[in-house]
Amino acid sequence: MKPSPFAYHAPEDVDAALALLAELGDDGKVLAGGQSLVPMMNMRLAAPPALVDITRLTDLDHVTVDDDQVTVGATVTHERLRTHPDASRACPLLRQALDWVAHPVIRNRGTSVGSIVHADPAAELPAVLALLDGSVELRSTQGTRTVAGGDFVVGPLESDVQPGELATSVSFPALTASTGTAFHELARRHGDYALAGVGVRVDLDDDRRVAAVRAAFIGVADRPLVVELTDALSGQAHDALDTGDAVGHARDQLDPNGDIHASGSYRRHLAGILLDRAVCDAVAATTSTQEAA
Amino acid sequence: MTSELTSLTAPQRHQVTVTVNGLPRSAEVAPRRLLSDFLRHDLRLTGTHVGCEHGVCGACTILLDGKPIRSCLTFAVAVDGRDITTVEGLAAEDGTLHPVQQAFQDHHGLQCGFCTPGFVMSACGYLAEHPDAQDDDEIREEMAGNLCRCTGYAGILGAVKQAAEVLRETGADPRDRHRPGGATLG
Ligand SMILES: Cc1cc2nc3c(=O)[nH]c(=O)nc-3n(C[C@H](O)[C@H](O)[C@H](O)COP(=O)(O)OP(=O)(O)OC[C@H]3O[C@@H](n4cnc5c(N)ncnc54)[C@H](O)[C@@H]3O)c2cc1C
Ligand code: FES
Ligand code: FES
């Protein structure tokens, strides 16, 4: 199908974009890579009266990496972030998750910030943001505010962006050598949205024993579901892991819906299998473990 | 305020000028014109096919500034001033097929041909960035964004591998129009 008519604006700088968004209010919608919005408009699930195309805002086309964090501007595509060597080094979970995001042709246009704002329950990056407690910077003509990663996604396809606001960037904390991460998922075809998936963050102590573990599940709830697993795993040696308790604890908290692609009980089972693999990979990925090996 | 808002939400028409297969092309379109329909209806370049219009099948894949993208998920107004390559931009002026097209023919990488322009453009974009491609799994993964309901994919995989080899021998950029003899002139 074809989208319904709309007015198109392509501002050249951020202030002009904010002025347009302020004036349009509920009638205005940001167009970034269009890889989620345009399918919804083609299917007439969305019919915004006006689009503000932000792809010409060169000010937002940046990936900045320092000792503390990786900051990604709103026009940076998935593929650009995925292949950014400094970003992958500072926060390996970005690359690990982005390898699963869509197909290369979609990644060439879809933006990482757009995917987080779009907040699909099966999308990888909103889970990364929630798991690592990153943050989102939002600007409007009223000023700038920062929302913590865990609070940003409020429901299925719903994030904390108000009419008139533009998400200008998203920041992810840089990880240290004693922290390891991994992302695992299963989809019918690599690049499709996952049936279930999980990102894991493990912190080891000085003796290379597990000190803290968190997981963020996708595709099994109406938004990324963060589960604390420290109690189930802490104190375990990096080379003698038993994930049984953690898998049981996580499955207890999951009650996914079934659909045409998979039943709820299969998704719940799958989530546990993926968690086991991801915890083992995350521990193996800590630099301190690699050096000891 | 109301009148100002009305003008901000009035779907005006826009003049869009792009370079398509090396030539400047221009048309006046409504904002809702998809790039796929702009190519097919306004520019009469019907080589780019349209299947699902939600990004899943890949039939509408073209190159935008040398990178493969879905033309059904892009508005024509949004690419004003940019450079586009479609499947019509590959074969040589005398009709000799481009190495990727030739490989699809050699390996029976097509039957009905509906998916073929999308596969060919995805392959050109992929081989430009991965000239060393030869691993079956990697090629499968890279091409997994395109659907074919006829061939069963084996012929397509074989075609991409052959094209990669031929392009390595000639050193040609797969995004350029084919020049028989192998040499690419600027
Ligand atoms: C076939 C296919 C497969 C896919 N598979 C996956 C997958 O496996 N995993 C995955 O995560 N994604 C997948 N995607 C979606 C893809 O990642 C999108 O790129 C992403 O969800 C949205 O980014 P975008 O830049 O395209 O945003 P758009 O489509 O332009 O916008 C999406 C929404 O976010 C809003 N928005 C975007 N940017 C901003 C901003 N800076 N400020 C305020 N609002 C903003 C828009 O108004 C809109 O409501 C897939 C898409 C397709 C077509
Ligand atoms: S028509 Fe564009 S992906 Fe199917
Ligand atoms: S050849 Fe018929 S769909 Fe691929």
Domain-terminating residue out of A173, A204, A229: A173
| Shared domain check, A194 and A91 | no
CA–centroid distance, A55 to ligand 3, in Å, is 34
Per-residue pLDDT for B65 more than 50? yes
| Shared domain check, A205 and A130 | no
Residue A150 structure tokens: 């865990």
- The nearest alpha carbon in chain A to B62 belongs to A105
Nearest ligand by distance to the CA of B122: 2
Q: 3-state SS of B23-59?
A: EEEEEEECCCCEHHHHHHHHCCCCCCCCCCCCCCCCC
Asked if residue A1 is part of any domain, the answer here is: no
CB contact under 8 A, A3 and B69: no
Q: What pLDDT sits at residue B17?
A: 98
Domain-terminating residue out of A141, A158, A173: A173
Per-residue pLDDT for A187 more than 80? yes
Q: What is the mean pLDDT of residues A251-267?
A: 95
pLDDT confidence bin for A66, thresholds 50/70/90: very high
Per-residue pLDDT for B157 more than 80? yes
* Number of domains composing chain A: 3
The Cα of A230 is separated from the nearest Cα of chain B by a number of Å equal to 35
Model confidence, pTM: 0.95
Q: What pLDDT sits at residue B100?
A: 98
Per-residue pLDDT for B109 more than 70? yes
Q: In this predicted model, what pLDDT tens digit does every residue of A128-150 receive, in sequence order?
A: 999 999 999 999 999 999 999 99
Asked if residue A205 is part of any domain, the answer here is: yes
Asked if residue A153 is part of any domain, the answer here is: yes
CB–CB of A166/A14 below 8 Å?
yes
| Shared domain check, A106 and A149 | yes
The CATH number linked to A73 is 3.30.465.10
pLDDT confidence bin for A291, thresholds 50/70/90: low
Is any atom of ligand 2 closer than 6 Å to the C-beta of B58? Answer: yes
Asked if residue A86 is part of any domain, the answer here is: yes
Q: What is the mean pLDDT of residues B133-147?
A: 95
Per-residue pLDDT for B186 more than 70? no
CB contact under 8 A, A2 and B34: yes
Tell whether A293 is within 8 A of chain B (Cβ).
no
pLDDT confidence bin for B1, thresholds 50/70/90: very low
Per-residue pLDDT for A88 more than 90? yes
Per-residue pLDDT for A72 more than 50? yes
Q: What pLDDT sits at residue A4?
A: 96
- Full residue range of the structural domain in which residue A66 is found: 58-173
Rounded to the nearest integer, the mean pLDDT of chain A is 96
User: What percent of chain A lies above the pLDDT cut of 70?
Assistant: 98
The Cα of A54 is separated from the nearest Cα of chain B by a number of Å equal to 10
CB contact under 8 A, A191 and B4: no
Nearest ligand 1 atom to the CA of A102 is: 5
Q: How far apart are CA B25 and CA B44, in angstroms?
A: 11
Q: In this predicted model, what pLDDT tens digit does every residue of A138-183 receive, in sequence order?
A: 999 999 999 999 999 999 999 999 999 999 999 999 999 999 999 9
ipTM, interface predicted TM-score of the complex? 0.93
| Shared domain check, A107 and A65 | yes
Superfamily classification of domain B2-89: Beta-grasp domain (3.10.20.30)
CB–CB of B4/B45 below 8 Å?
no
What are the CA-CA distances from residue A242 to residues A91, A206, A236, A237, A245 (Å)?
Answer: 26, 20, 8, 9, 8
CA–centroid distance, A211 to ligand 2, in Å, is 47
Question: Which of A4, A38, A53, A111 to mutate to test binding with chain B, by most B CBs within 10 Å of its CB?
Answer: A38
Can you state the percent helix, strand and coil of chain A, rounding each to 5?
35, 25, 35
**Contacts B30 to A, Cβ<8 Å:** 5
Q: What pLDDT sits at residue A284?
A: 95
The CATH number linked to A262 is 3.30.390.50
- The nearest alpha carbon in chain A to B54 belongs to A39
Q: What pLDDT sits at residue A192?
A: 87
Tell whether B132 is within 8 A of chain A (Cβ).
no
Among B5-9, B42-46, B59-63, B108-112, the minimum mean pLDDT is found in B5-9
Nearest ligand 1 atom to the CA of A191 is: 8
CA atoms within 13 A on the CB side of A79: 17
Q: What pLDDT sits at residue B133?
A: 95
Residue A198 structure tokens: 């999980």
Closest by CA position to A104, among listed A53, A18, A35: A35
Question: Which of A26, A103, A105 to mutate to test binding with chain B, by most B CBs within 10 Å of its CB?
Answer: A105
Residue A93 structure tokens: 């979970």
Question: Which of B6, B32, B41, B122 to mutate to test binding with chain A, by most A CBs within 10 Å of its CB?
Answer: B32
Instruction: Compute, in degrees rounded to 10, the torsion defined by CA atoms B160, B98, B145, B16.
Output: 160
pLDDT confidence bin for B182, thresholds 50/70/90: low
Per-residue pLDDT for A108 more than 60? yes
CB contact under 8 A, A55 and B78: yes
Q: Is A39 exposed, middle or buried (0-12, 13-18, 19+ CB in 10 A)?
A: buried
Q: How far apart are CA A130 and CA A121, in angstroms?
A: 12
Residue A209 structure tokens: 């024993």
Per-residue pLDDT for A26 more than 90? yes
Q: In this predicted model, what pLDDT tens digit does every residue of B126-137 receive, in sequence order?
A: 999 999 999 999
CB contact under 8 A, A109 and B69: yes
Same fold, B2-89 and B99-180: no
| Shared domain check, A91 and A165 | yes
Among A203-217, A246-260, A270-284, B5-19, the minimum mean pLDDT is found in B5-19
CA–centroid distance, B117 to ligand 3, in Å, is 10
In chain B, where the domains are located: 2-89, 99-180
Superfamily classification of domain B99-180: [2Fe-2S]-binding domain (1.10.150.120)
Asked if residue A48 is part of any domain, the answer here is: yes
CA–centroid distance, A75 to ligand 2, in Å, is 23
Taking one residue from A and the other from B, the number of pairs with CB-CB distance under 8 angstroms is 107
Q: What pLDDT sits at residue B3?
A: 59
